Chains A and B, each alone.
Chain A
Amino acid sequence: MNFTYFLFFICIIVCTMIITYWAAKRSNTTNHFYIAAGSLSGLQNGMAIAGDFISAASFLGIVGAIALNGYDGFLYSIGFLVSYLVVMFFIAEPVHHLGKYSLGDVVCSRFPSNKMRFTMASGAFLISILYMIPQLVASGLLIRLLLNIDYSISVMIIGSLMTVYVVFGGMIATSWVQIVKTVVLLSGTFLLSLIVFSRLDWNVSELIAKVSANTPLREQFFMTGQLFASPVELFSLQLALVLGTAGLPHILIRFFTVRNTIEVRRSLVSATWIIGVFYMMTLVLGFGTVAFLGYEKLVASDATGNLAAPLLAGEVGGDFLLAFISAIAFTTIVAVVAGLVISATTAFSHDIYHHIWKKGKSTEKEQLRAARWTALGIGLISTLFALQLENINVTFLVSLTFIVAASSNLPVLLLTIYWKRFNQTGVIAGMVCGITVSLTVVLLGPNVMNPDHGWILKEAIFPLYNPGVIAIPSGFAAAILGSLLSAKKESLNDWQRFAIFSQTGTGRERP
């Protein structure tokens, strides 16, 4: 590793450690630890949401997907962005009104019981871990490719950093690491986009001509159907993308970190602007990679295309810019995994330890201690898992997370908030069926069962790479049928008070 790379990495580690030190002094109550005491402004939270959401799969994966497949690669970005409309219209405000620290709080505000809390906590825990492991594996592989550091060391560095941020700094450190990440990520991609255009004398037509000349797809690069030949696959992916975000616990708990609904809405306005602008720049970077580097060189370095952005930086800006963009990729990963650690920690220490195990009677000090130990445990276990999974292709786990979230958490949250006849049986049926069906269709699908490169070297039983179109309706159907077929009903009066409170935050005592 040369000196420039080393300097950038040390700079990032030092900056984030200063943030953690500052946050640690403030994280002395559970309210501060879990939700930063609701102290973030809408803009800050919007930046943190973008930092939490734009993972390595978004930054590196989408630039690569555009560079390799042209138009179809860009469709991922669209789905990720539009998904925030579902979050804003249906979920964000009610979650803010109904919950305190976790999604378990939200469902328990209508159906108070340990069973509900356990179901929601298990879902949030599973989704966060499922998302964290591929991010850690990808980070190890990426840093090995970029910096020539051993895979195990890379994973251990990222695993330790995310654990330290959360154990000592809780939500405050996590939020500010994510805010810093958003700033450097946007600045880096903006700078790189400017360099790409300046090399072409700000001429878009020349960029397009150069792209056509340097891709084996030629004019087809700009046409539809390069990645998704099957309409069902395309529709299914778009469905999972647009609905998935609204079920991701690490994104939803961010709505507890602001003080009122106006700030919740401001968070989403800022997040959608940042994410939208960012995805437009990924398009320039994807095109720029093909124009300056060419398809062959890109695929020779890494067949998945994930190194497109750093390679482009090296090509147009030399070693210094390559080091800068690599450092941004590194920050991107640590910010996302830290968000996942705090989400899994809240599910375990707040819902399971405090409410179920200690029956809500543990002291503030005990809760805080439990939260820190949980964060340490989660960091350690996921790092150990990631170390074992070096040689296994786990990238499909990222899309699996969106499918699990859209088919379990989303139906349960939506129906809890909006459906009068929904009940506890429906919650359990929706969560269990959503998770089981999505895991089953993925395990039996071509991502796992593949005669050439699958975990199971056999023909897939279920044909779709993107099984959202089956899993998501199953989760909704199970939640609805579970409610209709069970006898439990609640009084109309309770429902009306709950419905008004979930939308307005008035007419009922806050949880």
Chain B
Amino acid sequence: MGDELQKLVKQKRMLVMLLTMFAFLFYFGLPLSITFFPEIMNAPSPIMQISWAWLYAFLQIPMTWVLVFVYYSVMKRFDRLLKKLVQGDAA
């Protein structure tokens, strides 16, 4: 069980690192973009003419929801695999 469990935990860490990297790039991209490209960010976007800065800020909310959902769904599979490993070990 030891090795397989370690492999499973490693996979979980990989997922967390990937999701975190994406989340941080997306999140810190907002202050960085409004600092370095204020003209572009304050210009209207094609979507309902709202500025890129507003659009980007709004997108942070669904981004959070989507990442939470992805993590939640993948972890369901993780739980199933974990249960199998633990039960196999007990048997």
A3 at the interface (CB under 8 A from B): no
Task: Tell me which of B6, B34, B57 contacts A500 (CB under 8 A).
Answer: B6
User: Which 7 residue pairs spanning A and B have beta carbons closest together?
Assistant: A231-B35, A224-B34, A89-B16, A78-B60, A276-B61, A223-B42, A503-B9
Q: Is the CB of A84 within 8 A of B31?
A: no
Q: Is the CB of A504 within 8 A of B27?
A: no
A128 at the interface (CB under 8 A from B): no
Whole-angstrom CA separation of A262 from B32 in the bound complex: 35
Closest CB of chain B to A76's CB: distance in Å? 11
Closest CB of chain B to A266's CB: distance in Å? 8
A-side interface size class: 35 or more
Interface residue count for B (Cβ, 8 Å)? 39
How would residues 470 to 511 of chain A score, 1 for a CB under 8 Å from any chain B CB and 0 otherwise? 000000000000000000000000001001100110110000
Q: Is the CB of B79 within 8 A of A262?
A: yes
Residues of B within 8 A of A261 (CB): 75, 79
Whole-angstrom CA separation of A269 from B20 in the bound complex: 16
If the complex has contacts A71-B53, A89-B20, A90-B16, are A231 and B31 also in contact, measured as CB distance less than 8 A? yes
Residues of A within 8 A of B34 (CB): 224-225, 234
Give B49's nearest chain A residue, CB to CB.
A205
Sample (22) of A-B pairs whose CB atoms are under 8 Å apart: A75-B30, A78-B27, A84-B68, A85-B67, A89-B71, A90-B16, A223-B38, A223-B42, A234-B31, A235-B31, A235-B32, A235-B35, A262-B79, A265-B75, A268-B68, A272-B68, A276-B61, A280-B61, A503-B9, A504-B5, A504-B8, A506-B82
Residues of A within 8 A of B32 (CB): 235
Give residues in A with beta carbon < 8 Å to B: 71, 74-75, 78, 81-82, 84-86, 88-90, 222-225, 231, 234-235, 238, 242, 261-262, 265-266, 268-269, 272-273, 276, 279-280, 496, 499-500, 503-504, 506-507
Residues of A within 8 A of B23 (CB): 82, 85
Closest CB of chain A to B53's CB: distance in Å? 5
Give residues in B with beta carbon < 8 Å to A: 5-6, 8-9, 12-13, 16, 19-20, 23, 27-28, 30-32, 34-35, 38, 41-42, 51, 53-54, 57, 60-61, 63-65, 67-69, 71-72, 75-76, 79, 82, 86
Task: Tell me which of A89, A224, A231, A268 contacts B53 (CB under 8 A).
Answer: A224
Q: DSSP class of A's interface residues: helix, strand, loop or mixed?
A: helix
Residues of A within 8 A of B69 (CB): 269
Residues of A within 8 A of B42 (CB): 223-224
Please count the residue pairs between chain A and chain B whose beta carbons lie under 8 angstroms apart in the complex: 101
Q: DSSP class of B's interface residues: helix, strand, loop or mixed?
A: helix
Whole-angstrom CA separation of A269 from B27 in the bound complex: 19
Give A232's nearest chain B residue, CB to CB.
B35
Closest CB of chain B to A182's CB: distance in Å? 17
Give A496's nearest chain B residue, CB to CB.
B6
Whole-angstrom CA separation of A330 from B44 in the bound complex: 40
Give B22's nearest chain A residue, CB to CB.
A85
Closest CB of chain A to B21's CB: distance in Å? 11
Residues of A within 8 A of B6 (CB): 496, 500
Residues of A within 8 A of B57 (CB): 71, 74-75, 78
Closest CB of chain B to A312's CB: distance in Å? 21
Task: Tell me which of B38, B65, B72 contacts A265 (CB under 8 A).
Answer: B72
Give B1's nearest chain A residue, CB to CB.
A507
Whole-angstrom CA separation of A504 from B28 in the bound complex: 30
Residues of A within 8 A of B51 (CB): 222-223
Residues of B within 8 A of A503 (CB): 9, 12-13
Residues of B within 8 A of A500 (CB): 5-6, 9
Task: Tell me which of B13, B19, B53, B72 contacts A269 (CB under 8 A).
Answer: B72
Task: Tell me which of B64, B68, B82 contacts A504 (CB under 8 A).
Answer: B82
Closest CB of chain A to B67's CB: distance in Å? 6
Residues of A within 8 A of B75 (CB): 261, 265
Residues of A within 8 A of B9 (CB): 499-500, 503-504
Residues of A within 8 A of B41 (CB): 224
Whole-angstrom CA separation of A341 from B26 in the bound complex: 35
